[in-house]
Amino acid sequence: MSGSAPSTTWRDWLLSDRPQSATQARLGQAWLSWRAFRRNRLAMLGLGLILLLLIVAALAPWISPYEPNVQNLRLRLQPPSAAHWLGTDELGRDILSRIIHGSRITLYIVTLVVVIAAPLGLLIGTVSGYFGGWIDAVLMRVTDIFLAFPRLILALAFVAALGPGIENAVIAIAITAWPTYARVARAETLTLRRSDFIAAARIQGTGSLRIIGRHIMPLCLPSVIVRITLDMAGIILTAAGLGFLGLGAQPPAPEWGAMISTGRAYLLDQWWVATMPGIAICLVSLGFNLLGDGLRDLLDPKRRGG
């Protein structure tokens, strides 16, 4: 019973109902969430896929059997074999190696989009929700206008204006991604802004921007993170779509969408060229979707049980 017994295991320490410090309480909470999350087999599968992506991307130069851009025309369009597990493409490059290196591009795009879009959405959403009134009206109308365009089409138009390339694709996708985060952050802020601790902070003379930055934003983060995780698949698919149209990463970069696009010419006779990168895209976006679904269930107790 007593928490100070020397035989205390880590588990007991984490689950103690009388935590000695804020850190212990927080870790205990995290442990409980993790246990709930672990029960969701599909979500664990998603987590596994994402971890796999991270590991593959980190170790790409060491685990890929060949150089991704080295051509060998004598070995062009070879079917999958022991030497080339996923076959070779029209320039004799090893498809598996290209997919492995392509994971870095995917991760790069996704990370940059999130780094640009998430803070922007969070800021606009919290400011809009906290101040209300005409600021809210204007910001939300602007958000609505961006949401009025289908994502890919707006991104296409932006890339058309900015010119093809991976950075411009990132900017275009980020421009289409922030409104959703703004919506989520605003909804969360609306439930928070009337609460007592905000009123207390205000009475103490805390400035509005500080309240938003220090008190509201951190509490909005969990739902925004879930939204981002669910959005990742969409970002990856949009990026692959831009790549497929030749507007994303430029050759010879082993971007998965662009690889599918070149494989299209050989679809009927050399099916593996177009098919293999697509499987990689599917697995990664499925991973993000499963993970996001699991995280959402975790955050929203209504969806669990009863």
Partner 1 sequence: MSDTLVKRPPNLIGSRLGRHARSLGGILASIAFTFLGLLCITFVIGRVIPIDPALAIVGDRAPAHVYDRAREELGLNLPIWQQFFIYVGQVLRGDFGTSILTGRPVMEDIARVFPATLELATLGIIIGVVFGVPMGVLAAVKRDRWADQLVRVIGLVGYSVPIFWLGLVGLLIFYARLGWVGGSGRLDFFHEGIAPTITGVILIDSAIAGEWDVFRNALHHILLPAALLGYFSLAYISRMTRSLMLEQLNQEYIITARVKGVSERRVIWVHALRNILVPLITVIALSYASLLEGSVLTEIVFAWPGLGRYLTNALLAADMAAVLGATFVVGLVFVGVNLLSDLLYRLVDPRAK
Return the residue of 105, 113, 123, 156 that touches partner 1, per CB under 8 A: 156
Q: What is the rounded distance in angstroms from the CA atom of residue 280 to the CA atom of residue 271?
A: 15
**Omega of the bond prior to 252 within 30 degrees of 0, cis?**
yes
The answer to whether residue 210 forms part of the interface with partner 1 (CB under 8 A) is no
The answer to whether residue 42 forms part of the interface with partner 1 (CB under 8 A) is yes
Shortest distance (Å) from residue 276 CB to partner 1: 10
The answer to whether residue 278 forms part of the interface with partner 1 (CB under 8 A) is yes
Q: Considering only the stretches 4-12, 68-76, 82-90, 238-246, report the one whose residues sit in contact with partner 1 under the rule CB under 8 A.
A: 238-246
**Within its chain, how far is the Cα of 227 from the centroid?**
9
The answer to whether residue 200 forms part of the interface with partner 1 (CB under 8 A) is no
* C-alpha distances out from residue 47 to 55, 60, 218, 236, 285, Å: 12, 20, 24, 16, 11
Pick 25 or 162: Cβ nearer partner 1: 162
Shortest distance (Å) from residue 82 CB to partner 1: 24
Draw the binding track, 75-114, toward partner 1 (x: CB under 8 A; -: no contact). ----------------------------------------
The answer to whether residue 129 forms part of the interface with partner 1 (CB under 8 A) is no
The answer to whether residue 289 forms part of the interface with partner 1 (CB under 8 A) is yes
Residue with tokens 């925004």: 224
The answer to whether residue 160 forms part of the interface with partner 1 (CB under 8 A) is yes
* C-alpha distances out from residue 243 to 91, 166, 260, Å: 19, 9, 9
The answer to whether residue 162 forms part of the interface with partner 1 (CB under 8 A) is yes
Return the residue of 22, 148, 203, 205 that touches partner 1, per CB under 8 A: 148
Q: Considering only the stretches 24-32, 56-64, 115-123, 144-152, report the one whose residues sit in contact with partner 1 under the rule CB under 8 A.
A: 144-152
Question: Which residues does 144 contact at the CB level (< 8 Å), separation at least 6?
Answer: 179
The answer to whether residue 267 forms part of the interface with partner 1 (CB under 8 A) is yes
* C-alpha distances out from residue 102 to 42, 61, 70, 155, Å: 25, 11, 14, 21
CA nearest neighbour of 50 among 283, 294, 238: 283
Residue 64 β-bridge partners: none
Task: Give burial (CB, 10 Å; 0-12/13-18/19+) of 125.
Answer: buried
- The CA-based diameter of the chain, rounded to the nearest angstrom, is 76
Q: What is the rounded distance in angstroms from the CA atom of residue 172 to the CA atom of residue 184?
A: 21
| End-to-end Cα distance, the chain | 32
Shortest distance (Å) from residue 278 CB to partner 1: 3
The answer to whether residue 226 forms part of the interface with partner 1 (CB under 8 A) is no
Helices (H), 59-165: 60-63, 95-131, 133-148, 151-162
Q: Considering only the stretches 2-10, 59-67, 182-190, 284-292, report the one whose residues sit in contact with partner 1 under the rule CB under 8 A.
A: 284-292
The answer to whether residue 44 forms part of the interface with partner 1 (CB under 8 A) is no
Pick 125 or 234: Cβ nearer partner 1: 234
Contact footprint for partner 1 (CB under 8 A): 42, 132, 141-142, 144-146, 148-154, 156-163, 233-234, 237, 240-241, 244-247, 257, 260, 263-264, 267-268, 271, 274-275, 277-278, 281-282, 285-286, 288-290, 293
